[in-house]
């Protein structure tokens, strides 16, 4: 009987099937908390609508109502209402729009939405799911503030007041050039930015003395809490007094070259798209993709500190994890012990076409990105701000990179990058990941054509692993190319012992971590034996609590820890490998949102 079993195992392994004598996990994989979703889990989990063809939509703005709740768009076609602690309270369907000039403001108890250059209104007391009503007014700009029942609006060069209840219009002025932005200041004064100048109108007449009109000093112009604010790239906010004099100037972000010194950037406030006062010294700012951040004003430093991130993680560009627990995601860094509402730190401006990140042996990170006609790299240790490098001479892939691996070849350290179609190319890099030379195209010679590649990893110095169509592909060196030696998608004979048709993988410390997207779980295998060591998630049962996943995708691992993009729940889940123990339940998690919360739950 023993001989027959050995023969069966040998035959199955030759066919590329991994069969373990005992497929019961030998360790426990537990949830150690959530990142990137201020709602954390369950009914309060924040949801955004999917991106339209991957297109980034500039933030619409933010409003804070008299109940102390926050309103902002949650992707195309959704309006989200949040508690100040980050929980999702309700959602509303709104007209779909990807227009860069979409805007949100609040007049009394009425939200006014500018979508596709049309106005819509929604009461703050509306029941969840209620649709906004059309106001039937065409506009290209609206103000952040109102006066009585009216807001200031513009259509190209024409500026006028709009009654938010009736839609009635009252002309103010026709400017020489197109209106760039406008707002209502103290006493109902109208401020209009056009042709690079700020114009002030009081009771319908323009002020032309005392230095008016004045030069515009940034994008947008918003009056908030006795100060004016303008925005710029590098997540920059500038503060001015009532006379539009710097007070003190840059108070958040990198200053876009106009600031002597350094303030941390945040890639999700790029650029800022509107502010709302929450309470004294506390305001909310809307950034890219409608992510909100709470800012606390620090009088002694004369600047804002970012203290909370409110929103979801609808996509995950690049993912890396070092031995200290620093997590690279979306051009910034989270720490392992961060709360679900923690903001990214050590950020750089957002990068289009960002591929998978690879952690080098010295804990430096490297990833490639693709801009129109050019290839770029981002690299360095996660304990400091990453370095961007644009390369004109290197040939980019035809499509955005999805998988990356690093190995030694021809005496050099090579970064291998693949796109979803299987086109691959290698680049010589330095010890910290800096690009040094284009090493040319690389062929991934596999036995059967793959419809979609997702990730790459190294099993050892001579074995490349790839994930495609639900299969783990093992490849050996074939000169400068790679050739398939085996493939597998199952490890035992049970119905649960097989991957779905989309997997993502990473390898570290002798283990292969597999994110099984269709079957909603993460699996850990020993690289030397193929034995299943641990699993997390309920197979074929997606969920939003702290014990389950929903369509997990990218995964990064270091030692006994891993972080996975739980795409269906729009969050990152931290996983810790340990000896068998009682799993952490949703009710007993000690890594919850409120354990060290800065603000009380409301």
Q: Is the pLDDT of residue 6 over 50?
A: no
* pLDDT in the model for residue 584: 46
pLDDT, position 57: 67
Residue 584 gets the label, from left (phi > 0), alpha (psi -120 to 50) or beta, of beta
Arithmetic mean of pLDDT, 433-450 = 95
pLDDT digits (tens, 9 = 90+) for 102-118: 999 999 999 999 999 99
Using the predicted structure, report yes or no on whether residue 5 has a pLDDT greater than 60: no
pLDDT given at position 260: 62
Measure the CA–CA gap between 442 and 13, rounded to whole angstroms.
28
Both tokens of residue 183? 């707002």
Residue 3: pLDDT over 50: no
- With cut-offs at 50, 70 and 90, classify the pLDDT of residue 317: confident
| Alpha carbon distance 39, 129 (integer Å) | 19
* 5 three-class SS: helix
Class of residue 451 by CB neighbours under 10 A (exposed 0-12, middle 13-18, buried 19+):
exposed
Q: What is the pLDDT of residues 265-307, one digit of tens each?
A: 899 998 899 999 999 999 999 987 899 999 999 999 999 999 9
pLDDT at 23: 57
Reported confidence tier of residue 594, pLDDT bands at 50, 70, 90 = very low
| Per-residue confidence (pLDDT) for residue 265, from 0 to 100 | 84
At 589 the pLDDT is: 40
Q: What is the mean pLDDT of the chain?
A: 90
Number of Cβ atoms within 10 Å of the Cβ of 418: 26
Judged against a pLDDT cut of 60, whether residue 10 lies above it is answered with no
What integer pLDDT is reported at residue 15 of this predicted model?
40
Please tell me the predicted confidence (pLDDT) of residue 602. Answer: 35
478-516 as b/e: b if 16+ CB within 10 A: eeeebebebbbbbbbeeeebbbbebbbbbbbeebbbbbb
Please give the sequence-ordered ranges of beta strands (E in DSSP) within 287-373, or none if there are none.
292-298, 303-310, 319-321, 326-329, 332-335, 358-359, 364-371
pLDDT at 580: 65
Q: Specify the pLDDT at position 370.
A: 85
- Among 333, 444, 419, CA closest to 378: 333
Cβ contact 244:230 at 8 Å? no
CA 467 to chain centre: 24
| Rounded mean pLDDT, 358-375 | 91
Q: Distance (Å, rounded) from C-alpha 450 to C-alpha 233?
A: 41
Listed residue (54, 53, 32, 34) closest to 44, CA to CA: 34
Provide φ and ψ at 8, rounded to 5°.
Answer: -60, -45
Q: How confident is the model at residue 19 (pLDDT cuts 50, 70, 90)?
A: very low
| pLDDT tens, residue by residue, 418-431 | 999 999 999 999 99
| Residue whose structure tokens are 């270091």 | 558
pLDDT of 395: 79
What is the CATH superfamily name and number for domain 22-35+313-578?
TolB, C-terminal domain (2.120.10.30)
Instruction: Provide, rounded to the nearest whole percent, the portion of the chain with pLDDT above 90.
Output: 80
What is the C-alpha separation between 151 and 147, in angstroms, rounded? 6
**pLDDT-derived band at 68, boundaries 50, 70, 90:** very high
Whether residue 72 contacts residue 61, with contact meaning beta carbons closer than 8 Å, is answered with yes
Residue 539 above 70 pLDDT?
yes
When pLDDT is averaged across residues 41-60 and rounded to a whole number, the result is: 81
Examine the pLDDT at 597 and tell me if it is beyond 50. no
Mean local confidence (pLDDT), 154-174: 96
Mean pLDDT of 167-196: 95
Q: In this model, does residue 450 exceed pLDDT 60?
A: yes
How many residues comprise the chain?
602
Res 375: pLDDT: 87
Residue that has been written with the tokens 């620093």 in this structure = 326
Q: For residue 259, name the pLDDT band (cuts at 50, 70, 90).
A: low
What integer pLDDT is reported at residue 55 of this predicted model?
55
Q: In the chain, what are the domain boundaries?
A: 22-35+313-578
Record the pTM: 0.91
Rounded distance between C-alpha atoms, residue 200 and residue 427, angstroms: 56
Residue 501 pLDDT more than 80? yes
Q: Which tens digits make up the pLDDT trace of 389-424?
A: 999 877 777 788 999 999 999 899 999 999 999 999
209 Cβ neighbours under 8 A, 6+ residues apart: none
The pLDDT score that the predictor gives to residue 394 is: 76
Residue-wise pLDDT tens digits, 508-518 = 999 999 999 99
Measured from the Cβ of residue 310, the count of other Cβ atoms closer than 10 Å reads 28
For 573, residues 6+ apart whose C-beta sits below 8 A from its C-beta are 31, 33, 34, 549, 552, 563, 564, 566
Q: Which residue has the tokens 């590329």?
A: 16
Of residues 19 and 371, the one with the higher pLDDT is 371
Strand partners, 184: 190
- Pairing mode, strands 358-359 and 332-335: unpaired
């Amino acid at each position: 009987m023993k001989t027959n079993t050995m023969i069966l195992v040998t035959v199955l392994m030759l066919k590329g099937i991994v069969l373990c004598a005992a497929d019961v996990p030998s360790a426990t994989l537990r949830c150690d908390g959530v990142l990137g979703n201020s709602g954390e889990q369950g009914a309060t989990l924040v949801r955004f609508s999917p991106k339209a063809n991957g297109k980034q939509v500039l933030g619409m703005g933010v409003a804070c109502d008299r109940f102390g709740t926050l309103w902002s768009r949650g992707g195309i076609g959704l309006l989200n209402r949040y508690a100040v602690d980050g929980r999702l309270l309700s959602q509303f369907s709104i007209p779909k729009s990807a227009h860069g000039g979409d805007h949100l403001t609040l007049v009394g108890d009425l939200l006014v939405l500018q979508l596709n250059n049309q106005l819509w209104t929604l009461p703050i007391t509306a029941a969840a799911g209620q649709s906004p009503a059309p106001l039937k007014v065409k506009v290209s700009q609206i103000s952040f503030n109102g006066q009585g029942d009216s807001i200031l609006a513009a259509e190209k060069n024409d500026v006028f007041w709009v009654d938010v209840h009736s839609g009635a219009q009252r002309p103010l002025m026709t400017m020489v050039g197109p209106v760039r932005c406008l707002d209502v200041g103290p006493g109902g004064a109208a401020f209009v930015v056009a042709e690079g100048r700020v114009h002030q109108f009081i009771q319908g007449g323009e002020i032309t003395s005392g230095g008016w009109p004045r030069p515009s000093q940034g994008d947008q112009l918003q009056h908030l809490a006795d100060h004016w604010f303008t925005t710029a790239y590098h997540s920059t906010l500038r503060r001015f007094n009532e006379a539009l004099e710097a007070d003190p100037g840059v108070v958040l972000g990198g200053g876009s070259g106009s600031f002597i010194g350094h303030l941390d950037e945040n890639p999700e406030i790029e650029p800022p798209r509107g502010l709302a006062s929450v309470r004294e010294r506390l305001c909310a700012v809307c950034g890219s993709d409608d992510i909100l951040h709470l800012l606390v004003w620090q009088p002694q430093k004369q600047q804002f500190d970012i203290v909370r991130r409110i929103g979801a993680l609808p996509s995950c560009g690049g993912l890396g994890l070092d031995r200290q627990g620093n997590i690279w995601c979306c051009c910034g860094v989270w720490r392992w012990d961060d709360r679900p509402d923690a903001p990214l730190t050590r950020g750089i401006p957002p990068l289009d076409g960002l591929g998978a990140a690879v952690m080098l042996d010295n804990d430096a990170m490297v990833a490639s990105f693709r801009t129109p006609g050019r290839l770029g790299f981002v690299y360095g240790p996660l304990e400091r701000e990453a370095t961007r490098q644009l390369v004109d001479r290197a040939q980019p892939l035809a499509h955005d990179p999805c998988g990356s691996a690093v190995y030694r070849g021809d005496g050099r350290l090579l970064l291998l990058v693949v796109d979803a179609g299987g086109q691959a190319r290698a680049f010589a890099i330095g010890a910290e990941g800096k690009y040094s030379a284009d090493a040319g195209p690389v062929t991934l010679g596999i036995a059967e054509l793959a419809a979609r590649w997702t990730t790459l990893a190294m099993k050892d110095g001579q074995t490349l692993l790839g994930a495609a169509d639900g299969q783990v592909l093992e490849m050996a060196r074939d000169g400068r190319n790679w050739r398939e030696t085996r493939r597998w998608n199952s490890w035992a004979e049970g119905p649960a012992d097989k991957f779905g048709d989309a997997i993502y993988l990473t390898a570290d410390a002798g283990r292969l971590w597999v994110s099984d997207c269709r079957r909603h779980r993460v699996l850990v295998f020993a690289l030397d034996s193929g034995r299943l060591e641990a699993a997390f998630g309920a197979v074929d049962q997606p969920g939003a609590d702290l014990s389950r996943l929903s369509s997990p995708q990218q995964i990064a691992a270091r030692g006994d820890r891993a972080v996975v993009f739980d795409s269906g729940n729009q969050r990152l889940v931290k996983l810790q490998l340990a000896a068998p123990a009682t799993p952490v339940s949703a009710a007993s998690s000690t890594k919850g949102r409120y354990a060290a919360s800065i603000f009380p739950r409301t």
